[in-house]
Amino acid sequence: MRAVIIFILTLLFGGCSTIIQEPKSIDIDNQGLYKSYLNHYDYTLNLSQYIGKVAFDCSALIVIINQKNNNIYEFDNLSKFYDRDGRRSQAMYNLYGSKNRLYYSNPKPGDLIFFNNTTHVTRNKSSHKITHIGIVTKVKSNGGIEFLHNINGKNIISIMNLQHKDTHKVDGKKINAYIIANCYEPSCLVSNRFSGFGRVDKNIYVK
């Protein structure tokens, strides 16, 4: 009986003290405030299960995730968007461009992320070639953007911060990963090979 009375008093005088469990990856607006909470998400995307696993390449990883998640990236007409180089990542970029769903700031977890000229063949090219792709997993209030991608056949999480494009580490902590093998110049940081985000037409909870 005493426990019941304490519970009732807590309800009456607790005010707005209800604890809301926040998702591991959150959507942040320009002021760093939460735009939505877990119960407002349209779809749950479990990307943690792919970390450390093997895939053929970066775009193959995206295809696998898309197939296992009800075509969340809407690749039905992807074959129409290949150019003569035949890169699947470029076709994905072209597809999202055709839908006006490419943008360059304020990403959300679950969005695609594109990079250009990341291979040794393309790294010094003046033409803009999409050669790498990943999926945003987390957006931090300090500008850090974590993303899942495949490097050398292995799926990993990397970090990018467009507010410090030429910086690899701050106070010993990595804020921009290198993306071109055996290249440790600022031009080889993910921040300087970034080509845009592909907006997904769903409010996604990434875990």
DSSP structural state of residue 189: B
Tokens, residue 2: 């005493």
For 143-198, what is each residue's pLDDT tens digit?
999 999 999 999 999 999 999 999 999 999 999 999 999 999 999 999 999 999 99
Quick count: other Cβ atoms within 10 Å of Cβ 150? Answer: 23
Q: Is the pLDDT of residue 20 over 60?
A: no
DSSP structural state of residue 66: H
Q: Three-class SS of residue 192?
A: helix
Residue 34: the pLDDT is 45
The pTM assigned to this predicted structure is: 0.81
Residue 39: the pLDDT is 59
Q: How far is CA 58 from CA 6, 89, 130, 145, in A?
A: 55, 8, 12, 18
Task: Give Cα 149 distance to the centre of its chain.
Answer: 9
Q: Tokens 């995307």 correspond to what residue?
A: 45
Closest CA to 105 of 79, 76, 139: 139
Residue 148: the pLDDT is 98
How far apart (Å, rounded) are the C-alpha atoms in residues 145 and 106?
Answer: 10
Residue 201 corresponds to which amino acid? D
Residue 14 corresponds to which amino acid? G
* Sequence spans of domains, the chain: 23-206
